Amino acid sequence: MKNITYTKTGDKGETSLIGGKRVPKFDDRVEAYGTVDELSAYIGVLNDLEGVSEEIRAVLGVIQQKLFTLESHFALDKSSEVSKMIPLLEDADVAFLEGHIDEMNAVLPELRAFVIPGAT
CATH (domain of 57): 1.20.1200.10
Domain membership of residue 49 (yes or no) is yes
pLDDT at 78: 86
Domain membership of residue 72 (yes or no) is yes
pLDDT tens per residue across span 30-46: 999 999 999 999 999 99
CA dihedral 56, 29, 15, 1 (to 10 degrees): -10
* Total domains, the chain: 1
Q: Which domain holds residue 65?
A: 14-106
Read out DSSP for 22-56? EEETT-HHHHHHHHHHHHHHHHHHHHTSTT--HHH
Nearest to 63 by CA among 87, 83, 44: 44
Residue 71 CB neighbours (<10 A): 20
Domain membership of residue 1 (yes or no) is no
Domain membership of residue 94 (yes or no) is yes
Domain membership of residue 54 (yes or no) is yes
Single pTM value for the model: 0.80
Nearest to 62 by CA among 107, 30, 100: 100
